[in-house]
A and B are shown apart, each in its own frame.
Chain A
Amino acid sequence: MGRVPKKVVVDFFFDVVSPYSYIAFELLQRCNVKWENMDLKLKPVFLGGIMAATGNQGPAMLPIRAQYMNKDLPRLAEYYNMPFQFNAHIQKLFFQKGTLPTQRVLGVVKKDYPDILESLSSDMFRRVWADNEDITCDGILKTACQKAGLTDTARDEVLSASISDTGKQELKNLTQQALDFGAFGVPTYVAHLDDGPKMIFGSDRLFLLASYLGHEWTATRND
């Protein structure tokens, strides 16, 4: 009685390039409002680094699987009532410029301005997977930082820190953390339970996370 329930730390490793991370992120934000015993910690990583380190390949590399994903993703988004649109610039985002600049900015924000990490991550995810934006364009990160509430000075600090060696190292460290927990892709989440950390992979394993935290998961469309 009167005892504050112990919170369970849940790390969420993500890269905004991953559409299934977007779905998991949106779902987790809903859960975070309802689940009082979850202490959600957002951890931006570089998916390219995880794939290279584990020898894994993105599911979309196989044409027939990519065709399936083209149907699966809109189905999931529709089921869960989330805005979703395929990104017309995805080839560029995957293979040319990549999400390194974005993920590095998120890494710096996590360290220096943790209060705006969730809103900035949400904004970047939506730009890619709901609004069909090309986030590799100059100025997008600047605009997004401002929108998330950073002052001009803070924004400029974050942007220059993100291309410094420490900024780069920050993202490397977070990526290594994910690898140490056994990640081979994203979204990966780690629930730090009393009997040790439990690593879970995929937007479709939230029912397991719910059961670990003692919550009902009804898979309803507003879960």
Chain B
Amino acid sequence: MSQVGKKVAVELFYDVLSPYTYICFEILTHYNTKWDNMDLKLKPVSLRGIMGLTGNRPPGLVEAKSKYMTKDLIHVAKYYGIPFRFPMDVPNVMFTKGSLEAQRLLTVVQNKHPGHLESLSRALFHRIWVRDEDITTDDSLTAACQAVGLQDLETKEMLKLIKTNEVKDELKAHTQAACNAGAFGAPTYVVHLKDGPITLFGVDRFFLLCHYLNQEWPGNETVTNNSKM
């Protein structure tokens, strides 16, 4: 039973700090252009905020789990043909530097330049999870904005905005909304079906999304989004 012309909204709550979310982002944005019944809505949130609100702890804190994840991420990325490389100093990138500035910037872009949200998110994901580049300083964020075609003036204005309480509060509100939808980590995606929303956690529940959207699971078909970079 296909629902021609009827799109299903899928909200992806994401933070560029999470490597599994990077893989999920690439998969969902890729199939959003291929499937005619999916309407992907990108929702930047703060992963650190979600962990704080729910009392969840990052999986990497258990040593054996962290060792496994360093291999698992490489295997999963390779399976989908997604470029992936660990930064040299993962604890520094993930736990010390974090992604608050980047997520605030994405929050502003979502409002002011929604057409650039996907490309800027990808640029920031790639800075961490492919090229081991910083995403915390104004210079780094400016470079990412430039790379996706945002004007210097627009970028300067946005960098001012991310220091305001309005934007900080907005990111907090979006993070709280993700938790209200049942999020306890990232990636979390909510499929808005006719008979109610379904919250899915983890890149590895993609096959269920396919099922709910009446799409065939594409297996290890290569995921490519480079054209939009």
Contact = CB atoms under 8 A, between A and B. Distances in A.
Contact of B79 (A185, A211, A218): A211
A211 B76 CA distance: 11
Interface stretch (B24-32, B58-66, B135-143): B58-66
A197 B40 CA distance: 38
Nearest to A75: B208
A135 B201 CA distance: 31
B146 interface: no
B65 A62 contact: no
Given A68-B201, A72-B201, A79-B211, A208 B76 contact: yes
A217 B75 contact: no
A79 B204 CA distance: 14
B184 interface: yes
A54 B217 contact: no
Interface in A197-223: 199-202, 204-205, 207-208, 211, 216-220
B182 A184 contact: no
A124 to B, nearest CB: 26
Contact of B184 (A68, A211, A220): A68
Interface string A74-104: 0110010000000000000000000000000
A108 interface: no
* Residue of B68, B211, B217, B219 most packed against chain A (CB within 10 A): B68
B177 to A, nearest CB: 14
A219 B210 contact: yes
B55 interface: yes
A67 interface: yes
A182 B67 contact: yes
A73 B114 CA distance: 36
Given A55-B62, A211-B220, A220-B217, 17 more contacts: A54-B64, A56-B62, A56-B65, A62-B56, A64-B54, A64-B179, A65-B56, A65-B184, A68-B184, A182-B64, A184-B62, A201-B68, A204-B202, A205-B204, A207-B219, A219-B207, A219-B217
Interface of B: 54-56, 62-65, 67-68, 71-72, 75-76, 79, 179, 182, 184, 198-199, 201-202, 204-205, 207-208, 210-211, 217, 219-220
Interchain residue pairs A-B with the least CB separation, the first 4: A204-B204, A184-B64, A219-B217, A219-B207
